[in-house]
Amino acid sequence: MRIEDVRRHGTTPLTRPAFAPVVPWFTDREYLNIVYRTDPDALRAVVPEPLQVEEPLVRFEIMKMNDVTGFGPYTEGGQAIQVSFDGERGEYLHAMYLDNFPATAAGRENSAYPKVIGAPKLYVDQDVLVGTLDYGTLRVATATMGYKHYPLDLREAEAQITVPTFMLKIIPGYDGAPRVQELVRTEITDVVVKAAYTGPARLQLFQHVLAPLADLPVLEIVSASHILTDLTLAPVKPVFDYLKAGTR
């Protein structure tokens, strides 16, 4: 294979890349979002500067991807922390767990999503919307919400899922030191909200050493939403370079 042929590849193996070279379009992406108040000190311990924590709020999410170009259907769960950067409010993606390897690899390599393999599920149990997250054979989160109790304004639902998202992009060199260490920003685009609901909700987090969601304990449920939408994701853009910034 010629050098110019290698340059056209974005991932390995060269003869069967880990993920398709496509911009994914999400059709019927279904969210269960539960925003909760947590321990401010616990947040400050995990949110990297220069991001700022103004309110100790975390969004636990389970997302069922019913149809995604290049990846097929899969489910994803995790935690996003409300933050601000240079006066702009957004969310810092703290942890994401997926049941699809190509989507996990693409999210980490093409972008900066903190994705690892897990076993999230989203389903309806009689009159309750249920979101669960397992790591290996152990349950680490269970979320429940009353199924379609109250309509949620579609504009409010869109605002919930289109806030700017901040993530860390870290690529190590062969000596173990980082070659890339950046704070990046992205957002959801081309959104079509098809349905949205709110209602009562509960969230349980369970201690696990390698899936430490419970390190951000649930102190109070603030809000919950169930949203169905089509969308795509904007490319990430670096907003802060840790290797060039001075230390304090």
In whole angstroms, what separates CA 33 from the centre of its chain? 11
Q: Which residues are catalytically annotated?
A: 115
Give the sign of the dihedral formed by CA 99, CA 101, CA 105, CA 107.
negative
d(CA 115, CA 95): 7
Report the residue count for the chain: 248
Among candidates 70, 133, 75, which has minimal Cα distance to 100?
75
Is the peptide bond prior to 217 cis by the omega test (within 30 degrees of 0)?
no
Cβ contact 81:53 at 8 Å: yes
Among candidates 118, 94, 115, which has minimal Cα distance to 105?
115
Is the peptide bond prior to 50 cis by the omega test (within 30 degrees of 0)?
yes
d(CA 207, CA 193): 34
d(CA 84, CA 52): 5
Among candidates 14, 19, 16, 60, which has minimal Cα distance to 37?
60
Among candidates 140, 129, 51, which has minimal Cα distance to 93?
51
